[in-house]
Structure formats: C-alpha cells, structure tokens
Copies of this chain bind each other. A is one copy, B any other.
Amino acid sequence: MATSVKEVEAAVADVLPSNLEIARHTPRRPIGEIAAAMGLDQDYVEPYGHDVAKIDLTAMHALADRPRGKYVVVSAITPTPLGEGKTTTSIGLAQGFHHIARSAAVALRQPSMGPTLGIKGGAAGGGYSQVIPMERINLHLTGDIHAVSSAHNLLSAMIDNHLHHRRGVDLDPQQISWKRTMDINDRALRNIVTGLGSSADGFTRQSSFEITAASEVMAILALAHSLSDLRARLGRIVVGYTRSHQPVTAEDIGAAGAMTALLKDALKPNLLQTLEHTPALMHAGPFGNIAHGNSSIVADRIALRTSDYLITEAGFGADMGAERFFNIKCRASGMVPDAAVLVATVRGLKFHSGRFRVVPGRPLPEEMTAENPDDVYAGADNLRKQIDNIRAHGIAPVVAINVFPTDYASEHEAIRDVAEQAGARVALCTHVRDGGAGAAELAEAVAAAAEEPNRFEYLYPDDMHLDDKIKRIATRIYGAGGVEFSAEARRQIDSYQYQGYGDLPVCIAKTHLSLSADAGKQGAPTGWVLPVREVRLSAGAGFVYALCGEMRTMPGLGTDPAAAHIDIDENEQIVGLF
C-alpha cells in the first residue's frame, strides 16, 4: 500500500499514471501566454526559462485600479503524518473555478530543496492537480531560496567580521542569536564551533546552521509588501545584544542594504502554471512552526488584481497556518480574506478518533481502510474545532472532502453531516483524479461563501500584552485550559515588552500533528496546558514566536536519502526526484 499522501492520491484510480508521467505528458504553454491571460503586460513579466517567469513589482501599481478578486485561504483539519492534500486541493480548486467560468490563481509556498533531497517526493501537488514544471519547483526554481541564504549568510559573516575587527557596536559574543543557513539537510551543522585556527581566522564561538526555510530572512521575504518595506524589515532584524543588553540590528551591523540588493530579484513572485494552464504563483517558503508558514504577500497582492479568485495555501492545520494567515500575514498586508477552505479526509478523521496509529513510511493500518463511518464521527471533534477556528476570525468556512480511493460514500456522508451541523458549506473533491472538474463543486461552494457579509477580525489587537496574545491563541484556537510560561519565557516576554516589541503578533511553534502541544493527542483535546519553554523575537519579520517543545530547524538525512536515488537518465532527464 502506498504510504505518502502523494502516492495514495496518485493511486486514486488504478489507471492513474504517476505524478511525473502526468506532468511530463501535459503540454506546457509558454509562460508569457499564462501571464497574458492574467492581463499582465509583458513589460512586467521576466521569463526564467520557457516555463517560469518573475513578475516585476511595478505590476502592483499598474494593477491597482483593477477590481480586487476574492481572497481564499486553504487550510485543513489537523493532519496525519501523511498530510491531507492541502496543496492538491488548492491547485485543484484554482483549476476548478475555470470549470465554473471564473478566473482563479493559486499562490503557494516554494518548497525547500533540502528536504526534497532527503525524503522522496516533491511539493508541486499530485495527480491531475499539479503545478509544472516540477523539476524546476523541486530544485532551484528561480534561485529565491539561494538569495535568502546569501543575504542571511552575508549578515552572519558581517557579524563575525565585526567581532574580528572589534569595531562599531559593542556586540556581546555570548548574546548573538543570528545563525548561518543552508538549504541542505545537514545534521552535522546543527551545533558547530566557528573561528578556530589562528587569530586571522576569526573569533572563536559556538554557532549553528539552520535550514533556509527557517531563516528570518525567508519570513521577511514572505511578509514584505514592497522593496522598501523589505529594506526596512531587514534593517530591524535583531542579531544579538550589547553587553548592556541593548538590541543590535542588521542595520547597526551595516548589512541591511546589501541584503536588500541580494534579495531584489527574489522579491519578485514566480509565475508558473497548473496542469490546466491556470496561473500558479510560488513564492517564499517560511517554516510553519517557528515562522508563519504562508507564501508571500507580494504574490497575493499581484494575483488578487488579476483573477476573480486567489487561492492561497496556509501550512499545517487551521490552528497553525490559517491562524497565522489571519493574524500575522493579513495584519502585515492589511488585506482581508473572503473565505476559507478546510480540507478534511476520511482517513484524517478516523485518525482523530484516536483508534489508529499512523506512521510515515509505513502502510496505513488495515482496519483504517475498512468502511466505518463511526470512526469518522469519533474523530469529528477535530473538524468541528477547526471550523470554529475559522469562524473565530469572522470568515465563512467551506469543508473540502478530499476523496481517496479507499473511502466509502457513507464515510463522506459522515463528514458532510458533521460539517453541515457546524454550519459550514461542504463539497466533495476528486481533483487528484479529475483535475479542475473534480473541484467544480468546491469552487461553487467557495464562491457562495465569499459572497457572505465579511466580518473578518483579528483574534487579538496589536496592543494586547504578548503573554495575553499567547494565552488567547492557546485557549481560543488550540482549546488549551491555560498556558505555563517557563521562567526564561517570562523574562524574554518582559524584555520584549520593555524594548518596544510588545505590539508584534505572536507565532506559536508547537507540533502540527495535534491541536494540543502533544503530537500523540488526536481529536480536540481540552483542559491541557500549553508549555511555553522559550520566546524568541523575529523583529524584522515582525512577530514574536513561542517555542512549545523541541523545534528542529535543521533536518538530517535518513539512512537511505532520496538524493541517493536521483540521477539523470540516458535522455538527460532527471529521474528519482518524485
């Protein structure tokens, strides 16, 4: 039995070819045609190869007078370790709108390359709901992630250069929080000592690499709404403290201008196409735990003026990605969402019954694929809670039942029943098997939801105290009974408040596999306490993040990494990447 969401989805029908076969056998349109269909003048379109383009940011001004499309975020129930198909649903839905005679674009995060080389499988959708070309998406695309790494590591080098030459601000070597970064899964770089050798070889200190998706620069790229805003955010990055505990910024180090120059092209969103030749923007890829896990604001700003609907995916379940979409991304952009999709699956709700154990890389338990709507009902609290989490922001939720070949109609009915009881719209989706046609029903439902009166509101105001913001998210969204701050977390919150960072929104880094902070707890646990171990500052990105449990920011490679199976064949085509 197939074990990853992509494999399972690709097997929706026995006759379904592999993702790669489908993608390679779909003729691509020149990317200029895709842009032209969006009404983008070719002056704003910079081709990067035949199939990918960057959109110049001046397009934002040129498009400002166009009518604004509806803004739709795609989220999900709390996923199983295999994922529930948010990306395919986002792509399928965007394709689906074209089947009901509306135009739609999809905006996604760019996948990190490191993990692609670690765990088999790309991140470009699946079946007949894919973005192409997948080779470009899963490898360098237009180099944005590399530009982020360069900007990040330039700052790192300038910090150590500062210590080496003993100039300028009195940066305390023991209070430097800025690390180095690389888009490769390399566990040996998690804990390192740098600056060994002679006195000409730098200042000796302990340091670390994190994967580029975890870099604050990546979060900044996603949240900047213009080049000058990018410049300002980069300048605000706090890299450490002076001996007298004053924040030292990238501006103080003199790096922010050059970092902006390095990111000038990276800030332009990447335009690709779906298998049905609808526009797909893939831009920025911040982590979904220590960062907000949403694609870029500039991509959304541009795409919203080119289509009737913009579908944007938010990472993980609605408690994580959607909450940050509302409270971090929309707060930063000032943009107002019109509807939210919650992807739900039969296997996901069965998982939330707590009756099964799902392990990545292993087959699903056999009992899980037997017809059993009761198991679905038993896990339905998670869906109810995530519907409620969308409603908490005044937005109308639409439940998308992502159909798997192992499902039964009675089980779909169970999901529909729960969702309708909770007052949500519902639609069955077979977009993996059928492409956009399989998401036309969903598109209709989303269109109806987006017409409801907009009551969008943030979960908390800017001026709420940081610890109250954390409590608000924990209790209102996660269903926690309370929050327990470590002594260090308390001290950090106090100091951020004192330093003037109290107005920032918060991002809570907890497991994405449970509404609670314990990955082992399915459903919608209540009465538990969120343990906040540490609170950190992303002053440039513009949020404070609370660490609840261990968050690994540099993955490792497995015993048999995907990279060992990637090669080129005799036709010079890449094999083994997907």
A190 and B165 contact, Cβ closer than 8 Å, known pairs A113-B150, A184-B153, A566-B261 = no
Q: Which of A198-206, A373-381, A413-421 contacts B (4 or more CB under 8 A)?
A: A198-206
Is A227 interfacial (CB-CB < 8 Å)?
yes
Is A260 interfacial (CB-CB < 8 Å)?
yes
Residues of chain B within 8 A of A192, CB atoms compared: 192-196
Residues of chain B within 8 A of A556, CB atoms compared: 161, 164, 200, 202
A143 to B258, CA, bound (A): 17
Residues of chain B within 8 A of A562, CB atoms compared: 258
Nearest-Cβ distance from residue A483 to partner chain B, whole angstroms: 28
Interface string of A168-204 (1 = CB under 8 A from B): 0000000000001011111111111111110011110
Q: In the complex the two chains form, is B158's CB within 8 Å of A187's CB? A: no
Q: In the complex the two chains form, is B158's CB within 8 Å of A557's CB? A: yes
- Interface residues in A217-237 (C-beta closer than 8 Å to B): 227-228, 231
Residues of chain B within 8 A of A142, CB atoms compared: 143
Residues of chain B within 8 A of A189, CB atoms compared: 180, 194, 202
Nearest-Cβ distance from residue A63 to partner chain B, whole angstroms: 17
A188 and B165 contact, Cβ closer than 8 Å, known pairs A257-B566, A265-B140, A567-B261 = no
A401 to B474, CA, bound (A): 74
Q: Which of A41-49, A305-313, A332-340, A347-355 contacts B (4 or more CB under 8 A)?
A: A41-49
Q: Which of A283-291, A459-467, A569-577 contacts B (4 or more CB under 8 A)?
A: A569-577
Q: Which residue of B lies closest to A260 (CB)?
A: B568
Q: Which residue of B lies closest to A227 (CB)?
A: B572
A191 and B196 contact, Cβ closer than 8 Å, known pairs A262-B139, A577-B261 = yes
Residues of chain B within 8 A of A567, CB atoms compared: 231, 256-258, 260-261
Q: Which residue of B lies closest to A564 (CB)?
A: B254
Is A154 interfacial (CB-CB < 8 Å)?
yes
Nearest-Cβ distance from residue A552 to partner chain B, whole angstroms: 9
Is A244 interfacial (CB-CB < 8 Å)?
no
Residues of chain B within 8 A of A140, CB atoms compared: 143, 146-147, 150, 262, 265
Interface size range of chain A in the complex: 35 or more
Q: In the complex the two chains form, is B557's CB within 8 Å of A261's CB? A: no
Q: In the complex the two chains form, is A258's CB within 8 Å of B564's CB? A: yes
Residues of chain B within 8 A of A191, CB atoms compared: 195-197, 201
A188 to B153, CA, bound (A): 12
Q: Which residue of B lies closest to A159 (CB)?
A: B188
Q: In the complex the two chains form, is B564's CB within 8 Å of A255's CB? A: yes
Is A482 interfacial (CB-CB < 8 Å)?
no
Residues of chain B within 8 A of A228, CB atoms compared: 568, 572
Q: List 11 A-B contacts (CB under 8 A).
A: A48-B49, A153-B184, A158-B557, A158-B564, A188-B203, A189-B202, A190-B196, A193-B193, A202-B556, A254-B564, A256-B567
Residue positions of A touching B, CB distance < 8 A: 46-50, 54, 113, 117, 139-140, 142-143, 146-147, 149-150, 153-154, 156-158, 160-161, 164-165, 167, 180, 182-197, 200-203, 206, 227-228, 231, 254-258, 260-262, 264-265, 556-557, 559, 561-568, 572, 574, 576-577
Known: A140-B143, A257-B565. 7 other contacts (CB 8 A): A46-B49, A153-B184, A157-B185, A158-B561, A188-B201, A258-B564, A260-B567
